[in-house]
Amino acid sequence: MKLTAISGLGCKGPACFLFETAGRRILLDLGRGPDGDTLPDLTGVPPVDAIVFSHGHVDHTGGLHLAALLGNPPLFAPEPTIALSPDPALHRATPLEPLTQIAGIPFASGPAGHAPGARWLRLGGEGGLLYTGDMSRESVLYRWALPLPAAVMVFDASYGTADQPLSDQMADLMPLADRPLLLPVPAGGRGLEMALAFRAAGHPVALCPTHREVARVLATHPKALQPQGAARLRRLLDTTKELTGQSPAHGVMIAAGPNAERGVAGALAPRFAADGSARIVFTGHLAEGAPSGAMVAQGQARFLRWNVHPTLTETRLLMQSVTPTHAMPAFCKPGAAAALAVALDRPLIMTREVIW
């Protein structure tokens, strides 16, 4: 068996990994960004038998238009990812939840928390590859289960050795809702979790139309959610207002996009920054060149992380469950990977290829 990290090793870059066994090639994710429009370099990659997507975020699916370079293979993705994708090409993908093989290779998957429908993927059985995609066991909305054992693991190391639990982060964020609060977030991510948390704490919440649509679709996919998740989303839709680019500053305002680069957040953030009528807090990756970084640097907005990737505690749990012989840290810089290896007290693979 062979693993090649085409992209996503040594940086917070677009996800793209190639798994080969028994004459078959399966590509795991084909992303773009998250900084700018960076795409995986597919030079020299031969046609593949399938492309399997772990979840719908653009840094995992945004390179789909490159599939023609790989022989236009069949596509596989979680059901909610297919239902929510704005890309018609993904609508022809096969839902991967019930599958036990892909292109003749033994296949298993399970819920990875993190985002609507996100799943970890295992190819080639216990002696094969476990790919976590993006993962978080702390989600208050999305279902999560420990991944299965595998010989080799590519895991989400986005946060390196950071170990602050989401509960502490929520405790820091909640008091900021004593004034109008704008939270620019990706619609297919932590926005709905935040909305549920702020509603539970009794705050008025408004959601942008994109978030409302995601909530409506997700409520029809209860298996991707925690128990009672669908009912909680329906109640959320009934008890929150619609937020638009013209809305006045009021309550907790949850809007896409995550870097105030577009959407309702892109319309509201500059206005609130200029007139000071609402706090602005970014909670995810600050994309290079986007308005978010500049607003934080100029003191117009704050950054407070809301975990959607594994903490060190979760990574330790992951290692105990998967028990990989070789583990490759994805989506972090080499320095962070080296620190993680020390914290985990085990070697981590930083070479592009693994053969076993």
134 is a contact residue toward Zn ion (CB under 5 A)? yes
Q: Which stretch binds Zn ion (CB under 5 A): 131-139, 157-165, 192-200, 317-325?
A: 131-139
Q: Is the CB of 21 or the CB of 136 nearer to Zn ion?
A: 136
Nearest distance from C-beta of residue 119 to Zn ion, angstroms: 12
Give the distance, in angstroms, between the CA of residue 47 and the centroid of all CA atoms in the same chain: 27
Nearest distance from C-beta of residue 194 to Zn ion, angstroms: 16
- Select from 84, 60, 64 the least CA-distant residue to 12: 60
Stated length of the chain: 356
Q: Is the CB of 21 or the CB of 283 nearer to Zn ion?
A: 283
Binding test (CB under 5 A) with Zn ion, winner from 12, 25, 32, 57: 57
Nearest distance from C-beta of residue 114 to Zn ion, angstroms: 6
193 is a contact residue toward Zn ion (CB under 5 A)? no
190 is a contact residue toward Zn ion (CB under 5 A)? no
Q: Which stretch binds Zn ion (CB under 5 A): 67-75, 129-137, 140-148, 166-174?
A: 129-137
Which regions of the chain does DSSP assign to beta strands (E)? 2-7, 16-21, 24-28, 50-52, 75-77, 94-95, 101-102, 105-111, 119-123, 129-131, 152-156, 181-184, 205-207, 241-242, 252-255, 279-282, 302-303, 326-330, 353-355
Q: Which residues contact residue 54 at a Cβ distance below 8 angstroms, ignoring those fewer than 6 apart?
A: 15, 28, 29, 60, 78, 112, 118, 119, 120, 121, 131, 132, 133, 134
Within 228-247, the residues that bind Zn ion by CB under 5 A are none
Q: Which stretch binds Zn ion (CB under 5 A): 14-22, 126-134, 236-244, 254-262?
A: 126-134
119 is a contact residue toward Zn ion (CB under 5 A)? no
Nearest distance from C-beta of residue 115 to Zn ion, angstroms: 5
Q: Which stretch binds Zn ion (CB under 5 A): 17-25, 55-63, 178-186, 232-240?
A: 55-63
**Cα 152 to Cα 118, 127, 198, distances in angstroms:** 20, 8, 40
Residue count, binding to Zn ion (CB under 5 A): 2
Give the distance, in angstroms, between the CA of residue 213 and the centroid of all CA atoms in the same chain: 18
Q: Is the CB of 57 or the CB of 279 nearer to Zn ion?
A: 57
Nearest distance from C-beta of residue 55 to Zn ion, angstroms: 6
In what order do the strands lie in the sheet containing 252-255?
241-242, 205-207, 252-255, 181-184, 279-282, 302-303
x/- letters, 266..285, toward Zn ion (CB under 5 A) = --------------------
**Separation of alpha carbons 294 and 58, rounded Å:** 22
Q: Which stretch binds Zn ion (CB under 5 A): 57-65, 171-179, 264-272, 309-317?
A: 57-65
- Select from 134, 159, 155, 162 the least CA-distant residue to 9: 155
- Select from 67, 29, 76 the least CA-distant residue to 48: 67
Nearest distance from C-beta of residue 265 to Zn ion, angstroms: 18
Q: Which two tokens stand for residue 191?
A: 């926005």
Residues that bind Zn ion (CB under 5 A): 57, 134
